[in-house]
Amino acid sequence: MDFSPVWISLKTTACASAVTFVLGILAAWAVMFIKGRRLKAVVDGILTIPLVLPPTVAGFFLLYLFGARRPIGSFVEDVFGFRIAFSWFATVLAAVIVSFPLMYRSAKAGFEQIDQNMIEEAKMMGLGKWGILWKILFPCTFPSILSGMILSTTRGLGEYGATAMLAGNIPGKTRTLPLAVYSEVAAGNMDRAWIYVAVILGVAFIAVWIMNMTAKADREIKM
Amino acid sequence: MKKKILAGMIAAIMVFSLVGCQSEEKKEETETKKEETKVEGTVTLAAAASLEYAFTEKLIPEFEKEYPDVKVEGVYDSSGKLQQQIEAGLGADIFFSAAEKQMNELNDEGMIDSDTILNMLENKIVLITPSVSDKTFASFEDIKNAGTVALGDTASVPVGQYSQEALTSLGLWEEVSAKASFGTNVTEVLNWVAEASADCGIVYATDAATTDKVKVVAEAPEGSLKSPVLYPAAITKDAPNPEAAKAFYDFITSDEASEVFESYGFSDYRDVK
């Protein structure tokens, strides 16, 4: 039995979650300060779109930009001598792109619920943008952020389409759990697929449990 | 009020669509009577992905011109996946596999009309590189010089099994499989090489011919494959539309169809046996 997909997926998901966490919160926070309503809507749309696109379309765009013969892909290879396509890094990239909108939207939804007067007062008391983020937005919206983190983490763990297109299916290198499940099922090895499925089910169960616990804790705080 | 308007609109749409269906049905009936052909309805074809272009671009339109009342619906995928889908009740009339294994397994399960199994085509496996390649490959054995290799999954994709057989007989399997990405169908393998994600890959000659983004380095050396890559076609035992299936089967195993297949890089295998 080959357990490498489990480790590859855990590594990929951990890295992707960390990146998505930071980028998602920063993006939500930055979008809050955009003044023009139209510009805000456009930026919001662009940041959300990977969520509603089929993963293969996200993969298509990733390949179009980061493929070995494509603009960014060939630039990185020329300058750093590193090929993104078929690398483990590509699994992280794919996971970040598809899971980012979930973190971004959860954080943004949380930020929008905060009383604007509180923020205005904080501004008057001399708190800067970073201060507002750390001292007000972040602590007040912790449940939203946590649920965004869990949703994006599990979405990243489940990423298949874009990963297969950009990172390939290299056992021991880029074969993540969803790819392993697909390959085993395609080969008719349902028993082996079960082991990978069980790991994913376990993680999914824990994720839902944490989310329910935080929702409960949040309600109790508000009461 | 709004709800009433909405309900009225929905009702109107439903009535219109019913009327539309009726008139279409009538039209179809009169047309069939005029031509007096018994062969009609839908034929579901389950064919290996490498046959897709020959069918969609040439054979199916030609057949439908000859039999205007028959509609051919093609399902194209790796033979292993098609086998699973047929077992799961795809309802295919014709199975055109890219290897004998899947056909034989289905036949053993009693899902194929055994008398109709015909080894129709042969396909060769070739080493390909991106059309603009930074590494030089001169022979099939040069595959060992690649950084990454794109192969079909050996457990589910016939071209993967043939690649493994050829590489094993050349004593290169261990070395090559360690740096291989395994595609779950041959199109995926082809695209990995076309996009230069992999330095080289092994696909069918017919797949290599579908894009100018890859170039063929060499065919697998003579003798590296014990048996040739054969494409058997057959009618399924429980074909939902047996008459139309028979007409389509006769058509795709005809000399006329053989010429079309050859224009897509296949070799006719009917004469060889």
8 Å CB contact between B248 and B70: yes
A-chain CB neighbours of B78 within 8 Å are 186
Please give the torsion angle defined by the CA atoms of residues B266, B271, B272 and B273, in that order, rounded to the nearest 10 degrees: 120
The domains found in chain A, sorted by start residue, are 4-222 (1.10.3720.10)
Domain that holds residue B248: 37-122+230-268
Nearest CB to A63 within list B180, B184, B195: B195
Exposed, middle or buried: residue B13 (CB in 10 Å: 0-12, 13-18, 19+)?
A: exposed
Domain termination site, one of B219, B241, B259: B219
What pLDDT was estimated at residue B12? Answer: 59
Residue pair A107/A146 in contact by the 8 Å Cβ criterion: no
Q: Looking at chain B, which runs of residues are DSSP E strands?
A: 41-48, 70-77, 94-96, 118-123, 125-130, 149-152, 180-183, 200-204, 214-219, 229-235, 267-268
Can you tell me the distance from the alpha carbon of A129 to that of A112, in angstroms, rounded to the nearest whole number? 15
Chain B residues inside the 8 Å CB shell of A67: 195-197
Say if residue B155 is in the same domain as residue B169.
yes
Banded pLDDT at B194 (limits 50, 70, 90): very high
- Residues B180 and B215 reside in one and the same domain: yes
In angstroms, rounded to a whole number, what is the distance separating the alpha carbons of residues B257 and A69?
A: 38
Question: Mean per-residue pLDDT for B72-87?
Answer: 94
Position B200 in a domain? yes
Asked if the structure places residue B260 within a domain, the reply is yes
A170: chain B residues, CB-CB within 8 Å: 148, 179-182
Average model confidence (pLDDT) for chain B?
86
Total domains, chain B = 2
Residue B115 falls within a domain, yes or no? yes
Best B181, B191, B193, B214 member to test A by mutation, with max A CBs in 10 Å, is B181
DSSP B50: G
Chain A residue with minimum CA distance to B198: A86
Query: pLDDT tens digit string along A185-217?
Result: 988 889 999 999 999 999 999 998 988 888 787
Shared domain for B237 and B114, answered yes or no, is: yes
What three-state secondary structure class fits B218?
strand
Does residue A134 or residue A13 have the better pLDDT?
Answer: A13
Residue B24 falls inside a structural domain: no
Burial of A131 (0-12, 13-18, 19+ CB in 10 A): middle
CB contact under 8 A, B150 and A168: yes
- For chain B, percent of residues with pLDDT exceeding 70: 85
Say which residue, B265 or A181, is predicted with more confidence.
A181
Residue B148 DSSP symbol: S
Same domain membership, residue B194 and residue B76: no
pLDDT in tens, B239-250: 999 999 999 999
Cβ atoms < 10 Å from Cβ of B233: 22
Whole-number pLDDT of residue B34: 41
Statement to judge: residues B159 and B41 lie in one domain: no
**Shortest Cα–Cα distance, A16 to chain B (Å):** 22
Measure A85 CA to nearest chain B CA, in Å.
5
In a domain, B181, yes or no: yes
In a domain, B15, yes or no: no
Query: What pLDDT band is residue A2 in, cutting at 50, 70 and 90?
Result: confident
Does the beta carbon of B196 lie under 8 angstroms from any beta carbon of chain A? Answer: yes
Closest approach of B150 to chain A, Cα-based (Å): 9
Whether residues B81 and A186 touch (CB distance < 8 A) is answered with: yes
Mutate to test the interface with A, among B133, B149, B192 (most CBs of A within 10 A): B192
Distance CA A91, CA A7 (A): 13
* CA distances for A198 relative to A194, A204, B248, angstroms: 6, 10, 44
Together in a domain, B131 and B214: yes
Predicted local confidence at residue B272, as pLDDT: 61
Residue B134 shares a structural domain with residue B116: no
Task: Say which DSSP state B229 is in.
Answer: E
pLDDT at residue B252 greater than cutoff 70: yes
Q: Per-residue pLDDT tens for A41-52?
A: 999 999 999 999
Is the domain of B70 the same as that of B203? no
Are B156 and B189 members of one domain? Answer: yes
Q: State the average pLDDT for chain A.
A: 91
- The ipTM is 0.78
> Would the CB atoms of A169 and B156 count as touching at under 8 Å?
no
The per-residue pLDDT for range B4-52, each reduced to its tens digit, is 666 666 665 555 555 554 554 544 454 444 444 578 899 999 999 889 9
Residue B31, in any domain of the structure: no
The per-residue pLDDT for B6 is: 61
Residues B101 and B137 in one domain: no
The CATH number assigned to the domain holding B138 equals 3.40.190.10
